[in-house]
Structure 1
Amino acid sequence: MDAVVRILRSHGFPIDPDETGFDSDQVIHTRGVNNGDIFVFPSGSLVAWSLPEDVVSDLATKTLLPAAINPHMDQMELEDLEYTEDPKRESSNIKGDVITLGTKSSVQREEHTSPRVDTTLAKIAFSSGLARSTKLAVLETMLGKYVESTRTIPTLLSRGTKLPFNRRFMLQKTGELLELRAQLNHYSELTDSLPDLFWDSRHELGLEGYYDQVGRALDVGVRIKALNEKMDYAQEIASILRQTMSEKHSIHLEWIIIILIAVEVGFELRREFKERRARLAKKKDEAS
Structure 2
Amino acid sequence: QDDSNKKTSHDGDKSKTPKRKAARSQASSNSLPSLVRRVAVEAQRSRKVIKGSGRRAHVDPEIQTRDVTAYCAAETYNLHVAKHVLQQEGYEPDPFRTELFPQVLHVQTPNFVVRDEMTGEDTPQGAGDVFIFPSGSVVTWNVTEKLAHHLVERTLAPKAAEEGHLDRLEVEDLAYVEDPTREVSKIIGDTIILGTKASSEHQQHHNASQSELDSNEEAQQQRRTEIDNILAKIAFSSALARSTKLAVLENMLSSYFQTTRSIPLTLSQGSKLRFSREFILRKTGELLHIRAQLNLYSELTDSLPDLFWDSPHELGLENYYEQVGRALDVGVRIKTLNERMNYASEIAAVLRERLSEKHSNMLEIWIIVLIVMEVLLEGYRFSHEWVEGKKPDSTEALQREWLKRELGSS
Give the TM-score of the pair, scaled to structure 2. Answer: 0.67
Question: Could you say which residue in structure 2 is the equivalent of 1:73?
Answer: 166
Residue pairs, 1:73-112, within 5 angstroms? 73-109=166-202
Residue pairs, 1:95-134, within 5 angstroms? 95-109=188-202, 114-134=224-244
Unmatched tracts of structure 1, length 5 or more:
none
- Matched positions, count: 287
- The answer to whether the aligner puts 1:273 opposite 2:351 as a matched pair is no
**What one-letter code is carried by the residue in structure 1 that aligns with 2:315?**
L
Question: Could you say which residue in structure 2 is the equivalent of 1:243?
Answer: 353
Question: Could you say which residue in structure 2 is the equivalent of 1:27?
Answer: 104
Distance 1:97 1:48 in 2: 16
Greater share of helix: 1
Shift of 1:212: 0.3
SS state at 1:190 partner = coil
Q: 2:317 aligns with which of 198, 203, 207?
A: 207
| Runs of 4+ residues over 6 Å off in structure 1 | 283-288
Q: Is the 8 A contact 1:96 1:217 kept in 2?
A: yes
Residues 173-203 of structure 1 show CA distances to partners (whole Å, capped at 9, x for unaligned) of 1111111111001145211111000001111
Shift of 1:168: 1.5
Unmatched tracts of structure 2, length 5 or more:
1-78, 112-126, 206-219, 402-410
Q: 1:9 aligns with which of 77, 87, 109?
A: 87
Q: Is the 8 A contact 2:171 2:244 kept in 1?
A: yes
- The answer to whether the aligner puts 1:50 opposite 2:142 as a matched pair is yes
Distance 2:108 2:224 in 1: 17
Greater share of strand: 2
Computing the radius of gyration from Cα coordinates, the structure with the larger value is 2
Distance 2:327 2:165 in 1: 26
Distance 1:163 1:67 in 2: 42
Q: Is the 8 A contact 2:105 2:131 kept in 1?
A: yes
Q: Is the 8 A contact 1:84 1:101 kept in 2?
A: yes
Give the TM-score of the pair, scaled to structure 1. Answer: 0.95
**What one-letter code is carried by the residue in structure 1 that aligns with 2:229?**
T
Q: Is the 8 A contact 2:239 2:324 kept in 1?
A: yes
Question: Could you say which residue in structure 2 is the equivalent of 1:189?
Answer: 299
Distance 2:349 2:201 in 1: 57
Q: Is the 8 A contact 2:135 2:298 kept in 1?
A: no
Shift of 1:278: 0.6
Q: Is the 8 A contact 1:4 1:64 kept in 2?
A: yes
Shift of 1:57: 1.2
- Percent identity over paired residues: 55
